[in-house]
Amino acid sequence: MAIRERLSGNEAVAYAIKQINPDVMPAFPITPSTEIPQYVANYIANGEIDTEFIHVESEHSAMSATLGASAAGARALTATSSCGMALMWEELYVAASDRLPIVLALVNRALTGPININADHSDSMGARDSGWIQIYAESNQEVYDNFLQAFPIAEDARVHLPVMVCQDGFITSHGVENILLVEDEKVKELVGEYHPEHFLLNGKEPMAVGPYAVSNYYMETKRAQREAMKNAKEVILELAARFEEMTGRHYGFFEEYRMEDAEYVIVIIGSAAGTCKAAIEKIRQTTGKKVGLCKIRVFRPFPEEELAEVLKDRKAIAIMDRSEMFAATSGPLGAEVRAALQSAKSQAEVVNYFYGLGGRDITVEDFERVYERLEQIAETHVIEDMYDYIGLRSRD
Amino acid sequence: MKDTIEIRWHGRGGQGAKTAALLLADVAFKTGKYVQGFPEYGPERMGAPITAYNRLSDRPITIHSNIYEPDLVAVVDDSLLEAIDVTHGLSPEGAIIVNSQKPKEEILPHLRGFQGRVFVIDARAISVKALGRYFPNSPMLAAVVAVSGVMERDVFLQEMRASYQHKFAKKPEVIDGNMKALELTFEALR
């Protein structure tokens, strides 16, 4: 029987770490992820797990120590947010190219400028090209479930890539919600013992990790990373299937909510999807209009074909970005989904919204207005502002 | 009857409004509810106004926005009444609880014409009488439970005793005091 609990998102991740009992966790505190290493340190101090906790002097060192531990053959992880991850930038790429199966608990927060501690996706979206697998969550339940699946995905021989398990700062990290925890023995069965094939501390197989690669070799390593990312798709689905068998909870690359007949669709990532679901229920009950949601769970690798297949024949689609990329056109999700629709020769009308930057709240009523606009666009085929905002204060 | 009760807490950083919201989520969870308890964070400073929220329901809750039309508002510090429109979005069918040593007549003019039920609770007097010190959380929590009717008094008290026994395992002397504070609050609101 699953264990009924109520936990914050940070508590849920720390609890997953406790159940996994990894070998090494170097970490440096930053709001809103600080509680994760804090709770883990408590578990260690209480003798509940024997993870080696390394106190480091910065996030640059946190990811460096995680790399070192992972290369040595340990199951290693760290946690951070925002500017903390920005300071890991160099090492993010090293982790991916060295093919180290590290897991990063990322609590999404806006990057500084102006200083802001609240939720948005600019930290992880900025790192979308670093070679990490990225998995996002709507709720505390999902970030916990995703975390349990992360190490087996990362460590699979077909993958060998680091995984970023993302949740929205404060909204889920500091919000207490009901959650179903998986029993310890089931977690052990799912995650298993870590036996790396190649590792630095193996005296029988001397090797180098992260050496210089001249032009004759560099490009092939990038091609190999790309292949691993492709392989990750099947491994992610395999893990989801095993997890579903264990818990009854279904996961895929994205969640389709009321999509069976949906004509007007929102594509979104993270906690706001739950608010969108409430809007969908309200609209369907009061008007019967066919509204639905595609919530992206796996952003890297990007499920281009699968998503296009689900979206291509809808009447109108709003793609919602919680970060900027300053193309002066799309946001990162907008660009990817639009490209997917283009490949599938979709005729659907598409609009791209920016919302929730720096923690700006988004409500059920906001989503209702988006669906109203989609309906209007589908009727008129006129899109006045292809790239629009939700919740932006007016100039006057 | 709405199937979700929405509560907004107003306090100042360090006074425990967030803790009270989390305690309420805890105790409602234990009675089988679906719960949310979450703070709204800005720059974290002692004494700055802060807001925390609860959603309590018999059905799963998916909404992740703040609460703009609460059923109940709890004000932990009456000095906020002048700075903040604490009744904003509160429906006339709703209720507000204000922690204050002032009489209700002095509180009402600050509530900007709010037509619903108003409860003024002297958490300081209750806390000092029950515990010998001022901790507004227990009285405010009891007041929210009493006014919202989100759970039965006896179930609430039973769950809170278990919570305090867990929370104050190393300070058992404060368990009875906190329980007394809860009971005195229920009596004061009767």
The whole-angstrom distance between B179's CA and the closest CA on chain A is 23
**What residues does B56 pair with on adjacent strands?**
B5, B35
- How high is the pLDDT of residue B46? 81
Residue A68 scores a pLDDT above 80 = yes
pLDDT band at residue A396 under the 50/70/90 scheme: low
pLDDT band at residue B36 under the 50/70/90 scheme: very high
Percent of chain A with pLDDT over 90: 99
Q: Classify each residue of A39-58 as buried b or exposed e, where b means 16 or more C-beta atoms within 10 Å of its C-beta.
A: bbbebbeeeebebeebebee
Query: What is the helix (H) or strand (E) element at residue B163, kind and residue range?
Result: helix B153-167
Cβ pair B41:A118 closer than 8 A = yes
- How high is the pLDDT of residue A84? 98
Mutate to test the interface with A, among B23, B51, B65 (most CBs of A within 10 A): B65
- pLDDT tens-digit series, residues A308-321: 999 999 999 999 99
Looking at domain A3-247, which CATH architecture does it have? 3-Layer(aba) Sandwich (3.40)
- How high is the pLDDT of residue B3? 85
CATH of A255-389, one of 2.60.120.10, 3.20.20.80, 3.40.50.920, 3.40.960.10: 3.40.50.920
- How high is the pLDDT of residue B13? 87
DSSP per position, A20-88: H--SEEEE---TTTTHHHHHHHHHHHTTS---EEEE-SSHHHHHHHHHHHHHHT--BEEEE-HHHHHTT
Tell me the average pLDDT of chain A.
97
Residue B30: other Cβ atoms inside 10 A:
18
- Sorted by where each starts, the structural domains of chain B and their CATH numbers stand as 4-189 (3.40.920.10)
Percent of chain A with pLDDT over 70: 100
Average of per-residue pLDDT across A25-39: 98
Q: How far is CA B136 from CA A116, A119, B49, B130, in A?
A: 30, 30, 16, 11
pLDDT band at residue B44 under the 50/70/90 scheme: low
Residue B4: other Cβ atoms inside 10 A:
18
| Residue B54 sits at the chain A interface (C-beta within 8 Å) | no
pLDDT band at residue A119 under the 50/70/90 scheme: very high
What is the spatial distance between Cα A8 and Cα A141, in angstroms, rounded to a whole number?
9
Bigger pLDDT: B190 vs A105: A105
Instruction: Give me the residue spans of the domains in chain A.
Output: 3-247, 255-389
- How high is the pLDDT of residue B45? 76
Average of per-residue pLDDT across A273-299: 98
B chain contacts of residue A368, beta-carbon cutoff 8 Å: none
The whole-angstrom distance between A388's CA and the closest CA on chain B is 20
- pLDDT tens-digit series, residues B15-35: 888 999 999 999 999 999 999
**What residues does A168 pair with on adjacent strands?**
A108
Mutate to test the interface with B, among A3, A4, A5, A6 (most CBs of B within 10 A): A6
Nearest chain B residue to A180 by CA distance is B34
Cβ pair A6:B39 closer than 8 A = no
Q: pTM of the full predicted structure? A: 0.97
Strand, coil or helix: A276: helix
Burial of A244 (0-12, 13-18, 19+ CB in 10 A): middle
Nearest chain A residue to B33 by CA distance is A178
Mutate to test the interface with B, among A117, A168, A176, A366 (most CBs of B within 10 A): A176
Same fold, A3-247 and A255-389: yes
A46 — alpha (psi -120 to 50), left (phi > 0) or beta?
Answer: alpha
Cβ pair B65:A174 closer than 8 A = no
- How high is the pLDDT of residue B1? 44
Tokens of B158: 């039973």
Residue A282 scores a pLDDT above 90 = yes
Mutate to test the interface with A, among B2, B7, B64, B66 (most CBs of A within 10 A): B64
Cβ pair B26:A361 closer than 8 A = no
Tell me the average pLDDT of chain B.
93
Of A6, A170, A361, the CB nearest to B65: A361
Give phi and psi for B113, each to the nearest 5: 75, 15
3-state DSSP of A308-319:
HHHHCCCCEEEE
Residue showing tokens 């309420």:
B24
The whole-angstrom distance between B66's CA and the closest CA on chain A is 7
Nearest to A100 by CA among A72, A139, A119: A72
Residue A346 scores a pLDDT above 90 = yes
- pLDDT tens-digit series, residues B114-151: 999 999 999 999 999 999 999 999 999 999 999 999 99
Q: How far is CA A52 from CA A43, A88, A364, B96, in A?
A: 11, 20, 44, 49
User: A176-185, A268-277, B10-19: lowest mean pLDDT where?
Assistant: B10-19
Average of per-residue pLDDT across A96-119: 97
Cβ pair A175:B68 closer than 8 A = no
- How high is the pLDDT of residue B166? 85
